[in-house]
């Protein structure tokens, strides 16, 4: 469900489950984690580029798969993926089309460059699902936009447009063409012509040290709370109501 191909120094990674808007299953988490780890260690790879097939980047978790195989420990596939993303040494570029929901949005905080097609919607639906944020977004988002704006985004979980995402600094450029991928490929090609050593050291200066330590620590903190909430009544009601296509009722569920 995830394709990858290395050519001219660019490792192109494609989330390839378009019939489900590239929603993640546990096997996809494991697969992407391995692809990213291998790419980061492969000397032939200068830059990695991730995109989604069809009309979506990723709709987040596959809810049915998620309910059948829920996260029960801090070494679960989604948490492992987030830690690998946070520790990458090579640049990771995202080309985002359609929607980026949940993990499909939070993983973008660990990309170095994000290009979004103009009709993209970013959604952080954690509270509406009875959960908490993941991927250190509770640390990285207020660092980017301030506490009040981060609270609005994470508490309400309302869609964010590509233009707004660019205004708050979450997206580098909004693409008016039908897909962001061709432009992202051009930027990836430009990076391959530059010094790999200078690129990796610059990324290290931007993301390593105290910030990286804080990010990994926050992923752990969020992961523990996420697991606790996931097995609570509010999340069960939210996920069940989603599958039953009805509004959740959180009254008395805490």
pLDDT in tens, 126-162: 999 999 999 999 999 999 999 999 999 999 999 999 9
DSSP single-letter state for residue 96? E
d(CA 49, CA 207): 18
Query: 60 phi and psi, to 5 degrees?
Result: 90, -140
Per-residue confidence (pLDDT) for residue 19, from 0 to 100: 96
pLDDT-above-90 percentage for the chain: 85
pLDDT-above-70 percentage for the chain: 100
pLDDT tens, residue by residue, 31-72: 999 999 999 999 999 999 999 999 999 999 998 887 787 788
Using 50, 70 and 90 to split pLDDT, how confident is the model at 87?
very high
d(CA 125, CA 127): 6
Per-residue confidence (pLDDT) for residue 64, from 0 to 100: 82
Per-residue confidence (pLDDT) for residue 243, from 0 to 100: 81
Question: Do the beta carbons of residue 188 and residue 92 sit within 8 Å?
Answer: no
Per-residue confidence (pLDDT) for residue 107, from 0 to 100: 97
Predicted TM-score of the model (pTM)? 0.95
d(CA 219, CA 135): 5
Per-residue pLDDT, averaged over 112-138, amounts to: 97
Per-residue confidence (pLDDT) for residue 102, from 0 to 100: 96
- Per-residue pLDDT at 125 exceeds 80: yes
Per-residue pLDDT, averaged over 115-134, amounts to: 96
d(CA 224, CA 48): 30
Average pLDDT along the chain: 95
Question: Do the beta carbons of residue 32 and residue 13 sit within 8 Å?
Answer: yes
β-strand pairing of 160-161 with 121-123: antiparallel
d(CA 59, CA 40): 25
DSSP single-letter state for residue 171? -
Residue 52 CA: distances (Å) to CA of 49, 57, 97, 135, 196: 10, 4, 7, 19, 26
Residue 186 CA: distances (Å) to CA of 55, 115, 164, 176, 223: 21, 11, 24, 15, 36
β-strand pairing of 113-117 with 121-123: unpaired
pLDDT tens, residue by residue, 179-227: 999 999 999 999 999 999 999 999 999 998 899 999 999 999 999 999 9
CATH 1.10.3720.10 fits 2-179, yes or no: no
Nearest-10 crossing angle of helices 210-230, 77-87:
170
- Per-residue pLDDT at 20 exceeds 80: yes
- Per-residue pLDDT at 109 exceeds 90: yes
d(CA 254, CA 251): 8
Using 50, 70 and 90 to split pLDDT, how confident is the model at 239?
confident
Question: What six digits make up the tokens of 153?
Answer: 């985004």
């Amino acid at each position: 469900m995830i394709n990858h191909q290395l050519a001219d120094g660019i490792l192109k990674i494609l989330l390839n489950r378009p019939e489900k808007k590239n929603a993640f299953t546990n096997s996809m988490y494991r697969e992407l984690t391995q692809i990213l780890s291998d790419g980061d260690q492969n000397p032939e790879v200068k830059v990695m580029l991730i995109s989604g097939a069809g009309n979506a980047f990723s709709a987040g978790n596959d809810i049915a798969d998620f309910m059948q195989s829920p996260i029960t420990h801090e070494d679960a596939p989604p948490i492992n993926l987030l830690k690998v993303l946070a520790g990458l040494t090579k640049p990771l570029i995202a080309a985002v089309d359609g929607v980026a929901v949940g993990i499909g949005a939070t993983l973008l905080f660990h990309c170095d460059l994000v290009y979004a097609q103009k009709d993209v919607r970013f959604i952080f639906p954690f509270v509406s699902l009875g959960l908490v944020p993941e991927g250190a977004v509770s640390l990285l988002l207020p660092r980017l936009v301030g506490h009040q704006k981060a609270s609005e985004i994470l508490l309400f979980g309302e869609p964010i447009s590509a233009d707004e995402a660019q205004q708050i600094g979450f997206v580098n450029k909004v693409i008016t063409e039908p897909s962001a991928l061709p432009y992202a490929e051009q930027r990836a090609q430009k990076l391959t012509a530059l010094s790999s050593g200078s690129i990796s050291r610059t990324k290290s200066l931007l993301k390593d040290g105290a910030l990286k330590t804080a990010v990994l620590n926050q992923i752990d903190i969020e992961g523990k709370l996420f697991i606790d909430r996931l097995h609570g009544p509010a999340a069960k009601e939210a996920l069940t109501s989603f599958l039953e296509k009805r509004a959740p009722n959180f009254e008395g569920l805490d």
